[in-house]
Structure 1
């Protein structure tokens, strides 16, 4: 019979840490994996866009015999009617993103602060658009009934309705982490609901709104499916213009021009990502020192 030893502290046995060559090579393996996943497609686009038509017939990762990137970009800019398509994309993306972020953040603030069965039902309905894809035929018929088919307003309304659920989902969870005492202090100072939202809540939402901006800009800027059925033939966007010139035979078997067009179409998204990424970092840093 064993007598337990009292007064002796039991020590936890910690699992041994990974040591040796495997632990040292793990960060390099992760970096190599990320570079491979992201770098190979990017290099394929850039290298193909810099080749001649003969070299680009079968796109691969090989180096071009002579770099023609600027020549191909200039040819696409002049022949592909990019300025008009770029203006059409901007006229749709900017109002759509602004309206989605404004209405979504306001609705998310109300849904996060009011706890009731009705609010829970409304929140479930608000985020149902994430899992329930909209019917294109129904959207087109509804826009025709409203007289908005083929118009800029109708296209903006479609994007607002589609991606409003995404903003509500992201912002609601973020608002719930903001202490309610901050809003109560603002109300005690005489601030109304609009002033509380604009001056107190909205500045705290910069990180999550920056993330939502990147996602929605990516979706709307590259969309060709809904734009084709709503405004196709009446107004050009960059994806629609690429689709039309490719079908018209202008870029037939000209993979170097297609990839050059993709580079020009992606440059505005890279600028938005760079700006929004800085906002995310500054927002997180500012919230950490409050």
Structure 2
């Protein structure tokens, strides 16, 4: 049986409308919450008592950001978050990429077993109570070093999982050519493998920064109040009597806390695109 002309035309119209509908849904899912945050952060205290989507009558976004920057001690919390984030991301990327390179190139039962253990952290939830007790025994509870160690243990599995699959797509002939020229394992990894891993490492950087920067659960149990980070400081500010129900200040804090992640995403996204483009050209 031949399809009717009306049926074919309807199918073509729906095919053309699918990208538009998908784009509209994504824009609504992202744009509505984003507008709620920005609009509430730009309102006065009286207007922001009940957050809604209505625009403020008088935009006070800059004033609210300035007030929260000074009164909530954001600079100190920002430095505390950086003190944990930067070593965590650097350590996880270096250790995870080197381990993934070895696991991807040595196809033995033992390395397969090690790979299964390495990525088990993705599905197995960490035991918070055990981690806290262990850090107390080691004298690292409430310290930045202990918090960095916890984050590296949690997110190392993610890097190993992503990078291992990517390394398997890299031709072994590139590494063999470097070894023929007299390069050792570390030099081969640094000069040949690591530059090719930029797209996947940029993706891993975005994910790890997102998890660590916004984490309040592990930071609350591990460092407590001994080290101030942006999420912990936001929890303290939101719970304080001075800022209770002051949604314009709380949402302004959320904007300040999100700006560094936007910068990281913009930089890493460019790295992903440039890495894919250079790989396609080669």
Normalised to the residue count of structure 2, the TM-score between the two structures is: 0.95
1:192 equivalent to 2:184? Answer yes
How far apart are the structure 2 equivalents of 1:17 and 1:215? 43
The residue aligned with 2:5 is none
Partner SS state of residue 127, structure 1: helix
How far apart are the structure 1 equivalents of 2:10 and 2:258? 41
1:57 equivalent to 2:49? Answer yes
Question: What pairs with 1:67-216 in structure 2 (closer than 5 Å)?
Answer: 67-216=59-208
How far apart are the structure 2 equivalents of 1:33 and 1:174? 32
Deviant stretches of 4+, over 2 Å? 16-27
Measured after TM superposition, the shift of residue 20 of structure 1 is: 4.4
1:40 equivalent to 2:32? Answer yes
How far apart are the structure 1 equivalents of 2:55 and 2:44? 11
How far apart are the structure 1 equivalents of 2:35 and 2:137? 47
How far apart are the structure 2 equivalents of 1:118 and 1:249? 57
Partner SS state of residue 28, structure 1: helix
How far apart are the structure 1 equivalents of 2:12 and 2:158? 45
1:281 equivalent to 2:264? Answer no
Q: 1:283 to 1:18 in 2, by over 3 A?
A: farther
Give the superposed CA RMSD.
1.2
**Greater helix percent: which structure?**
2
Which blocks of at least 5 consecutive residues in structure 1 are unaligned? 1-15
Measured after TM superposition, the shift of residue 25 of structure 1 is: 2.6
From 247, 250, 258, give the equivalent of 2:250.
258
Which blocks of at least 5 consecutive residues in structure 2 are unaligned? 1-7
Measured after TM superposition, the shift of residue 110 of structure 1 is: 0.3
How far apart are the structure 2 equivalents of 1:77 and 1:107? 41
Q: 1:17 to 1:195 in 2, by over 3 A?
A: farther
How many residues are paired up? 275
